[in-house]
Chain A
Amino acid sequence: MSLALQIESLKFRWHPKAEPILSIDALELELGQSLFIQGASGSGKSTLLNLMAGVLTPQQGVINLLDQPVSKWRGKQRDQFRAHHIGYIFQQFNLLPYLTVMANVLLPCRLSAGRKKRALEAYGTLEASAHHWLGQLNIPQALWQRPVTELSVGQQQRVAAARALMGAPELIIADEPTSALDQDNVENFMSVLSQQCAAIGSSLIFVSHDRYLAKWFDQTLTLGKAREVAA
């Protein structure tokens, strides 16, 4: 059994003397399975994603990604691991405004040889790969060469998803990517994203304060104050 994510006795605090903002005893996610992280605003969801992405490191405990002790590595290796194995989607403003839709989608392959190789293996050329993902995420072809500033918020989020899927990274991490979308767009976005992650066998780790989205996922983690609500 291969694990996408494994957390053991993790504690993270922003300030040395403060109470830990995050405290997770054990969490395991099989590769290909999806995880929903739910919690109120300020409960530490984004902090946890930063830890998983290797931008932050925990004071205690370990985070293993793809069976590797990434949280123990040095910064440079963590940054490389992120480039090669993680597709990241923000809440909004995911795209570099000075690049076209295509150029934004191609970025991961410019920064990671591994993802470039996988994209080439699967689709022959990087352009073909980008076209594939833009098509899968229902971005009209007329927009592909346009500046991203001409896109609606919903389209921008789907382009961000296409970029995250480029080069088929094992982990797709999304930090409230639907919170700027209206209801119809949310449904559409969720279905396309989970389908495509499943298609390439990647694990989707997805954060939202909206617990109704839990239905799209195999596993749910509830953080912080939400537990008090449940109690």
Chain B
Amino acid sequence: MNWIQLALASLWNRRSTVVLTLAMVALSLCLLLTVDRIRQDTRSSFANTLSGTDLIIGGRTGNLNLLLYSVFRIGNATNNISWQTYDDIRNNNAVAWTIPITLGDSHHGYRVIGTNTDYFEHYQYGRRQNLALQKGRAFDRDVVYEAVLGHEVAQVLDYDLGDEIVIAHGLGRTSFENHDDKPFVVVGILAPTGTPVDRSVHIPLEGYTAIHIDWQSGARIPGLTISAEEALERDLTPDSVTAVFVGMKSRIQTFQFQRRINEYRQEPLSAIIPGATLQELWQMIAIAENALIAVSFMVVVTGTLGMVAVILAGLNERRREMAILRALGARPAHILGLLMLESGFYGLLGLMLAILVHWGLIAAVGLWVQSQYGISLAITLPDATLSMILGGFLVTTFLVGLVPGWKAYRQSLADGLTAN
């Protein structure tokens, strides 16, 4: 039987309505697909930002806050850790390695991280990948005014090895106060990681001390100017660091060490296990996520209802079509099936279109999202859960065809062969 061909020809005849209806269905599905993609990829990009680190230690603060500012460069530290404490942590028997970091300054809106060579040795992201240099080298142990740029910083600001950069005081994109008396030389550019590292400028801890040597509580000390060379004469060991990434010799010791840090007597500290805190973050975000998903579902439901309404509204004009088919021997059940086919067609083609538009959208804005938010959106098929939901949607579109189908069935029984 060629009912499918007939249904398609009939749809083609009404193509302007069909196109609009398809657009409605497709856009509603596209929203769902895209929201779900963003949700998934945000999670995985967050989860990929840091790996291999067992604990992050900072001044006493909320767990989330510590995770956000130390790993994701979001928000600010309220308290620092004294150098003495950092030494204690570093020299603890259970600790395998540490990465100290100091935050607070920026360069053209990119955050500047004071750290040491441990960063390039121990920092891991994704599936325990180490940072790699695309060009140049990590900074030397003894040289102060050297910088290693994240991939995006170098690309966007068009820097190459040997360029000099000036660090701005504070985090404002248009900070007027610059450490322009102590420029840094770019000695290395990191390979892309898809993490906030790409958007960071790394300088030695000693560099951080040096540029603030003639500063006090956020302002230049009046009358005191210490040149870059003079600063080198001084002891540039920092007083404090913002946070410390810690790798344990044995993971089993993590919890015990975390407890010890949280109960540290000399100063109030916070220690977090990144994965566990990320879970806390998800739990918070889940509320917003669920709301978004719920809205997307409602939009899909609205689109489906709209589609049914369009088919229903068209039935009256199609009485003649039905009567002709009846005269040719079509059973009322065929008429019902024809409308279910039509409804299912909207579902199937709408879904295929939605996937294409969704991919197009991601292809179009993917790079921008990557650079703005560090989230790399993947062009893939929906995952198993969503696929099942979409399968359910397809079945539903055939089933809701029963509504106009039933009306047409009744109509064609009543009209018989006399509809005019």
Q: Hey, which bits of chain A sit against chain B, CB under 8 A?
A: 46, 49-50, 53, 55-56, 75-76, 79-80, 82-84, 88, 90-91, 93-99, 103, 107-108, 110-112, 175
Contacts and interface: CB of A to CB of B under 8 A. Distances in A.
A111 B332 CA distance: 14
A82 B329 contact: yes
Contacts of B326: 55, 79
Nearest to B331: A79
A110 B329 contact: no
Given A98-B9, A99-B9, A93 B329 contact: no
Contact of A84 (B12, B329, B416): B329
B2 interface: yes
A107 B418 contact: no
Contact of B417 (A50, A76, A99, A112): A50
A88 B9 contact: no
B323 interface: yes
B417 A111 contact: no
A202 to B, nearest CB: 16
B329 A79 contact: yes
B329 A46 contact: no
A95 B324 contact: yes
A205 to B, nearest CB: 13
B385 interface: no
B321 A96 contact: yes
Nearest to A50: B416
Contact of B329 (A49, A56, A97, A111): A111
A79 B418 contact: no
A53 B327 contact: yes
Interface string B310-324: 000000000011011
Most chain A CB inside 10 Å of its own CB: which residue of B6, B12, B327, B417: B327
Given A55-B416, A55-B417, A97-B13, A75 B323 contact: no
Contact of B324 (A55, A96, A103): A96
A33 B167 CA distance: 105
A137 to B, nearest CB: 18
Given A49-B417, A175-B417, A80 B329 contact: yes
B10 interface: yes
B330 interface: yes
Contacts of A55: 326, 416-417
B105 to A, nearest CB: 70
| Interface residues on chain B, size class | 20 to 34
A112 B329 contact: yes
B328 interface: yes
B266 interface: no
B420 interface: yes
Given A53-B327, A90-B327, A110 B2 contact: yes
A81 to B, nearest CB: 8
A84 B420 CA distance: 24
A91 B420 contact: yes
Contacts of B10: 96, 98
7 contacts: A46-B417, A76-B331, A83-B328, A83-B329, A96-B6, A98-B12, A107-B328
Nearest to A97: B13
Nearest to A89: B327
Nearest to A76: B331
Contacts of B6: 96
Contact of B327 (A56, A75, A76, A88): A88
Contacts of A88: 327-328, 417
Nearest to A92: B420
Interface string B292-326: 00000000000000000000000000001101101
A79 B417 contact: no
A70 B48 CA distance: 74
A148 to B, nearest CB: 11
Given A53-B417, A98-B9, A99-B9, A90 B331 contact: no
Given A96-B9, A111-B330, 16 more contacts: A46-B417, A79-B326, A83-B330, A88-B327, A90-B417, A91-B420, A93-B420, A94-B324, A95-B324, A96-B10, A98-B12, A98-B13, A110-B2, A111-B328, A111-B329, A175-B418
Give me the 7 closest cross-chain CB pairs, A-B, nearest first.
Answer: A83-B329, A98-B13, A55-B416, A88-B327, A79-B331, A50-B416, A98-B9
A95 B333 CA distance: 21
B226 to A, nearest CB: 86
Contacts of A50: 416-418
Contacts of B9: 96, 98-99, 103
A108 B324 CA distance: 11
Contacts of B329: 79-80, 82-84, 108, 111-112
A50 B2 CA distance: 25
Most chain B CB inside 10 Å of its own CB: which residue of A49, A76, A79: A79
B4 to A, nearest CB: 12
A16 to B, nearest CB: 16
B93 to A, nearest CB: 83
Most chain B CB inside 10 Å of its own CB: which residue of A75, A96, A97: A96
Nearest to A149: B13
Nearest to B15: A98
A76 B10 CA distance: 24
A46 B418 contact: yes
Interface string B173-212: 0000000000000000000000000000000000000000
Contacts of A75: 331-332
Contacts of A99: 9
B408 to A, nearest CB: 15
A53 to B, nearest CB: 6
Contacts of A95: 324
